[in-house]
Amino acid sequence: MRIVVTRRIPEAALVELRALGEVRVSTQDRPLEPDELRKAVAGAHAIVSMLHDRIDESVAEAAGPQLRIVANVAVGHDNIDVRTLTSRGIVVTNTPGVLTDATADLAFGLLLTLTRRIAEGDRLLRAGQPWSFHLGFMLGSGLQAKTLGIIGPGQIGRAMAKRAEAFGLHVVYSGRSEPKETLLRQADVVSLHCPLTPQTHHLIDAAALRIMKPTAVLINTTRGPVVDESALADALLTKQIAGAGLDVFEHEPDVEPRLLELDNVVLTPHLGSATVETRTQMALLAADNVTAVLTGKAPENPVRT
């Protein structure tokens, strides 16, 4: 068996994969270009992919008819043409569950950092600016008795709600069947946890931002294109909303330049699952899925079309 891993993963997962056969790990510490990816997967029985790898019919063709599984090391699978691969008899898997707490922790951390102006205060001190304590200095906003609106009440959304309730927030939800407009009007914090689909692309656009309270903040730890980043910058500059905490971006790794200049924005480079424990569990789960398929068993986490 030949297994292609498109970017470095924790050693524990590689040990499991090597028990199956030849493992080829990309030597490039960056996303592979489309031509590089197609060349890398030639002859693969399994591909262990990352969220930045676009796995489509051309990649399946390049791999060859023996390709049996694409194991995505992520919960989201918007980078994979699942329908086309499934029609070719290729199993697609993801890694849900194991990153729930880490991502919810990061989302709530963005919220606290934004509302209590933590990053802004850190920048002030590091810049050596003069300051002194007084009752009006760098006032933030408390969370108690405020309303958190969660768009996408899946595992991560519910974990975010659990943390919010401990801080005294009232939680409301919007899913596939509930209209988001009511939530946007009443929420003091809007936190995004829905997958990226054609229906959720630019779910938060200029019209949605106009509905939100001028005192509200937006948190996004799901996928960047769920938010129209240019419209968000406009809304922040014109004070349509009060702030934003973003871990994902519409055109990663690029960020809308205007967001970089604003103090009422907290930005992190896609760190939602970035703990040693979580990233190791994600890689091991992907390896488990590969092991199952290549040994004739059903994988734990198949992606359904």
Looking at the chain, the whole-number percentage of residues with pLDDT higher than 70 is 100
Predicted confidence (pLDDT) per residue in 135-181, tens digit? 999 999 999 999 999 999 999 999 999 999 999 999 999 987 778 99
Annotated catalytic residue 251: no
Q: What is d(CA 5, CA 272) in angstroms, rounded to the nearest whole number?
A: 22
Q: Which of 223, 229, 256, 279 is catalytic?
A: 223
Predicted confidence (pLDDT) per residue in 37-61, tens digit? 999 999 999 999 999 999 999 999 9
CB-based contact 150:191 (threshold 8 Å): yes
Average pLDDT, whole number, for the chain?
97
Domains of the chain (ranges; CATH) run 2-96+276-294 (3.40.50.720), 100-267 (3.40.50.720)
CA distance to 122, 176, 200, 249, per residue, from 253 (Å): 24, 29, 20, 7
Annotated catalytic residue 252: yes
pLDDT value of residue 178: 76
Predicted confidence (pLDDT) per residue in 189-239, tens digit? 999 999 999 999 999 999 999 999 999 999 999 999 999 999 999 999 999
Q: Which of 68, 77, 163, 270 is catalytic?
A: 270
Other beta carbons within 10 angstroms of residue 132's beta carbon come to 5
**Is the confidence at residue 294, as pLDDT, over 90?**
yes
Q: Which of 16, 36, 120, 252 is catalytic?
A: 252
Annotated catalytic residue 134: no
pLDDT value of residue 244: 98
**Is the confidence at residue 28, as pLDDT, over 80?**
yes
Tokens of 224: 């960047």
Tokens of 90: 């290729």
Please tell me the pTM assigned to this model. Answer: 0.94
